[in-house]
């Protein structure tokens, strides 16, 4: 009996001893061998959804033979690390929420998943328990893993998706090939790219919903009717290669692959019997209808419908989403932000469906109100305001959670008409444009006269290279090509054009003051840019009048900070009347704001005791209601530094000790009301009602992602002794109607501001 007892007990003691030893001697780092992860036994993992790359997607777990998903509540990058290792990747680079890769089906296995990131298995993470969730599949979490496999990992535990055909690319092929057809192509046979090449789609059962989805993918807001009799007649005379049939879309899908569809098998001998190739005709959005010279589509808007706009994007159809409420623009919180809501925005603006629904202020932070949160759209709504949403409160959301979109755009081919040469990277170089007609095309240069930041913005946009860092008028250091002819001159852009051809320029006759390739236009482009914004409320709160004695203004006079009449004053007796206010300038973009000039050209100012890096950074003006300037600030130059920053941002720039100058993303530069030249000399201004205007970066010397928010305006009443400043706002913060009311403001009859 004793021997039997020993044999019975020893294995358990040995197992316990082995467990204790392995626990005390093991490394805290996660195991890289999936076969040894006991906690994951019985579980299988896969990445699913579309569109996606092989190392990203919706996370699905198979437990007890049933596949399910994970809710995004409390999901973090640490949880993504654990799941990516379960999937055989070394680590995670990001994660997604709100079913970015489409909603899953079946159970939601995990909710409120909380991991430290070092766990060897997802079963070691805290959660509400298997199958215990209050989420819907609209909250399915996804991961983006680093495209690097764990050493020796067996793919038996990784099921990415069934290896089925997917529709990754769609195009419209014009049925009639002769002649030069303008881009974009708006009507033609629907073709999908399959492994064996481009194939047509059988039109049996084809519906308007299918056409709506195809047009959205191709960058068009909607579809229109087609003359099918014409296309059926053509179909009888041609051979077709059908690869897809039985397409059934609801109409809200952002991609054709999200629709129900069937592929023909290789051994199918009869394809689309009695049918024809599917044909679609799409409507151009207003932006492209105007730029291509086609008749602008008239979209009737319901009475009282709020507007929507995109801000801060480098390209058309991308940017931070802002909506209009009660005459004021505000942002949208990214909670539950998804492709359906983003697609409603894109179509409302005249683009196609959304290519990406971006969260986390990926297109820069807004300022002011946040109007919407937890927007839930079906995809059929004509406006974002028609979607259910949550009333926002101050503690609900911050501007670090501003939602943004990237929309599908029509292919116009403008990027083939421009190129850069001679630069050190593809983001810089001398600008070359293609002119002429087919058969007689040639490349040429652009005259550098008057070429600046606005023109460079359009060139970088046309090239698809993001924002403009610099517009250069001399490019002798990039003289590496054999193109020497100057073919375009007098280019003047507003900054919003889609291509340089849409900018004003000399026609066939080229006029250039400085000849030679040395003085031709160049650009330096960047994926990111700064975005400066003035804190308008602070101007209103701090504005006051000071009568400052002349004997205290010698330094200011030296820097030309006083009105011209000060030169004839009886120095040092008398005084000047100054309107003083504080100016707080925020950088809400995605790149630091740096002065254009290098340190070698900065100017030392003895009065201030530091170097100034920009001659003209801000204009201060007093205007009459009709726009006539009656006084202006003469601040000679500026020193740029980080005065304060948001909690999680560190200061990088300071003026003292010849330090680096600039404004970091998430920081602001404060010019207090009591420093020299932070004023407007109003000694000669008569009593009346005026507009106070402050413009940042007025000459566009430094590139920004958005120049439309650089001006601030206030109403003000001056009675000869006191001044009342009110209604201060950023230039693009109001609706057009609210701006008209501001400009027509009759003025105050008393000092009672209402």
What local confidence, expressed as pLDDT, does residue 293 receive? 52
- Name every residue whose Cβ is closer than 8 Å to that of residue 236 and which is 6 or more positions away in sequence: none
Token duo for residue 401:
């959670």
Categorize the per-residue pLDDT at 611 as very low, low, confident or very high, splitting at 50, 70 and 90: low
| CA dist., res. 725 & res. 743, Å (int) | 15
Query: pLDDT higher for 708 or 418?
Result: 418
Q: Is the pLDDT assigned to residue 162 strictly greater than 60?
A: no
What local confidence, expressed as pLDDT, does residue 617 receive? 80
Categorize the per-residue pLDDT at 140 as very low, low, confident or very high, splitting at 50, 70 and 90: very high
| Residue whose structure tokens are 């009311």 | 741
Q: Is the pLDDT assigned to residue 15 strictly greater than 60?
A: no
What local confidence, expressed as pLDDT, does residue 133 receive? 92
What local confidence, expressed as pLDDT, does residue 652 receive? 92
pLDDT in tens, 461-504: 999 999 999 999 999 888 767 888 999 999 999 988 999 999 99
Helix (H, G, I), strand (E, B) or coil at 206: coil
Going along the chain from its start, the domains and CATH numbers come out as: 40-151 (3.10.250.10), 170-175+182-286 (3.10.250.10), 308-407 (3.10.250.10), 414-526 (3.10.250.10), 532-743 (no CATH)
Q: Is the pLDDT assigned to residue 31 strictly greater than 50?
A: no
Token duo for residue 257:
């692959």
Q: Tell me whether strands 187-194 and 328-332 are parallel, antiparallel or unpaired.
A: unpaired
- Indicate the angle between helix axes 208-217 and 339-348, nearest 10 degrees: 90
Least confident of 113-122, 446-455, 542-551, 648-657: 648-657
Cis peptide before 658 (omega within 30 of 0): no
- Tell me which H or E stretch contains 211: helix 208-217
Torsion angle, CA of 68/70/71/73, rounded to 10 degrees? Answer: 160
pLDDT in tens, 258-297: 888 888 887 777 888 888 899 999 999 988 876 555 544 4
Categorize the per-residue pLDDT at 25 as very low, low, confident or very high, splitting at 50, 70 and 90: very low
Q: Tell me whether strands 107-110 and 92-96 are parallel, antiparallel or unpaired.
A: unpaired
Q: What is the mean pLDDT of the chain?
A: 83
* Average pLDDT for 335-342: 90
Helix (H, G, I), strand (E, B) or coil at 438: coil
Q: Is the pLDDT assigned to residue 24 strictly greater than 80?
A: no
By CB atoms closer than 10 A (0-12, 13-18, 19+), residue 534 is: buried
Categorize the per-residue pLDDT at 507 as very low, low, confident or very high, splitting at 50, 70 and 90: confident
% of the chain residues with pLDDT over 90: 45
% of the chain residues with pLDDT over 70: 84
């Amino acid at each position: 009996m004793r021997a039997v007892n020993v044999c019975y007990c020893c294995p358990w003691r040995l197992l316990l001893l082995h467990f204790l030893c392995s626990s005390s001697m093991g490394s805290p780092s996660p195991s890289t061998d999936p076969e040894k992860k006991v906690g994951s036994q019985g579980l299988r993992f896969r990445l699913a959804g579309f569109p996606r790359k092989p190392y990203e997607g919706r996370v699905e777990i198979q437990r007890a033979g049933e596949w399910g998903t994970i809710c995004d509540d409390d999901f973090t990058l640490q949880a993504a690390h654990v799941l990516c290792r379960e999937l055989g990747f070394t680590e995670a680079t990001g994660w997604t929420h709100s079913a970015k890769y489409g909603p899953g089906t079946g159970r939601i296995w995990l909710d409120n998943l909380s991991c430290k990131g070092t766990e060897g298995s997802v079963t070691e993470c805290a959660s509400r328990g298997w199958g215990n969730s209050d989420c819907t599949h609209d909250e399915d979490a996804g991961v983006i893993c680093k495209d690097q496999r764990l050493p020796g990992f067996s793919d038996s535990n990784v099921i990415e998706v069934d290896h089925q055909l997917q529709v990754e690319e769609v195009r419209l092929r014009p049925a009639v090939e002769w002649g030069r057809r303008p881009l974009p192509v708006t009507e033609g046979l629907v073709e999908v790219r399959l492994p064996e090449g481009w194939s047509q789609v059988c039109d049996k059962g084809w519906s308007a919903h299918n056409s709506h989805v195809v047009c959205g993918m191709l960058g068009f807001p909607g579809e229109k009717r087609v003359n099918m009799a014409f296309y059926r007649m053509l179909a009888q005379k041609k051979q077709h290669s059908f690869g897809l049939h039985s397409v059934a879309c609801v109409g809200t899908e952002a991609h054709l692959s999200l629709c129900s569809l069937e592929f023909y098998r290789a051994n199918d001998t009869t394809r689309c019997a009695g049918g024809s190739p599917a044909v679609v005709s799409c409507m151009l959005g207003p932006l492209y209808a105007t730029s291509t010279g086609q008749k602008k589509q008239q979209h009737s808007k319901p009475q009282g419908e709020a507007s929507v706009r995109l801000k801060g994007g480098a390209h058309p159809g991308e940017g931070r989403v802002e909506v209009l409420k009660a005459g004021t623009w505000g942002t949208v919180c990214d909670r539950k932000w998804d492709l359906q809501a983003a697609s409603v925005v894109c179509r409302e603006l005249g683009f196609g469906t959304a290519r990406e629904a971006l969260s986390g202020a990926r297109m820069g932070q807004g300022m002011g109100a946040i109007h919407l949160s937890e927007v839930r759209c079906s995809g059929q709504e004509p406006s974002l305001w028609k979607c259910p949403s949550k009333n926002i409160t101050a503690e609900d959301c911050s501007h670090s959670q501003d939602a943004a979109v990237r929309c599908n755009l029509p292919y116009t081919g403008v990027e083939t008409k421009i190129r850069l040469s001679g630069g050190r990277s593809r983001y810089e170089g001398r600008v070359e444009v293609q002119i002429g007609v087919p058969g007689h095309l040639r490349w040429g240069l652009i005259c550098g006269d008057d070429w600046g930041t606005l023109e460079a913005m359009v060139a970088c946009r046309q090239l698809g290279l993001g924002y403009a860092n610099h517009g250069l008028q001399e490019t002798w250091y990039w003289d590496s090509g054999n193109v020497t002819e100057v073919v375009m001159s007098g280019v003047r852009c507003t900054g919003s054009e889609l291509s340089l051809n849409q900018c004003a320029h000399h026609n066939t006759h080229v006029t250039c003051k400085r000849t030679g390739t040395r003085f031709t236009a160049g650009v330096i482009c960047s994926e990111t840019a700064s975005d400066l914004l003035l804190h308008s409320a602070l101007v209103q709160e701090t504005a006051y009048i000071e009568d400052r004695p002349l004997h205290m203004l010698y330094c200011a006079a030296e820097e030309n900070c006083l009105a011209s009449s000060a030169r004839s004053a009886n120095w040092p007796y008398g005084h000047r009347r100054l309107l003083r206010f504080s100016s707080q300038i925020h950088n809400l973009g995605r790149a630091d704001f740096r002065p254009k000039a290098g340190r070698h050209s900065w100017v030392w100012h003895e009065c201030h005791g530091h170097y100034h890096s920009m001659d003209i950074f801000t204009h201060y003006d007093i205007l009459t209601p009709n726009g006539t300037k009656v006084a202006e600030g003469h601040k000679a130059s500026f020193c740029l530094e980080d005065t304060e920053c948001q909690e999680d941002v560190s200061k990088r720039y300071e003026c003292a000790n010849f330090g680096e100058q600039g404004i970091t993303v998430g920081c602001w530069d404060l010019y207090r009301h009591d420093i020299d030249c932070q004023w407007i000399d109003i000694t000669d201004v008569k009593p009346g009602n005026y507009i106070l205007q402050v413009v940042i970066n007025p000459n566009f010397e430094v590139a920004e992602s958005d120049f439309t928010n650089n001006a601030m305006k206030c109403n003000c009443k001056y009675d000869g002794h006191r001044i009342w400043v009110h209604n201060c706002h950023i230039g693009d913060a109001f609706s057009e109607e609210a701006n008209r009311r501001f400009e027509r403001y009759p003025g105050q009859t008393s000092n009672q501001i209402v």
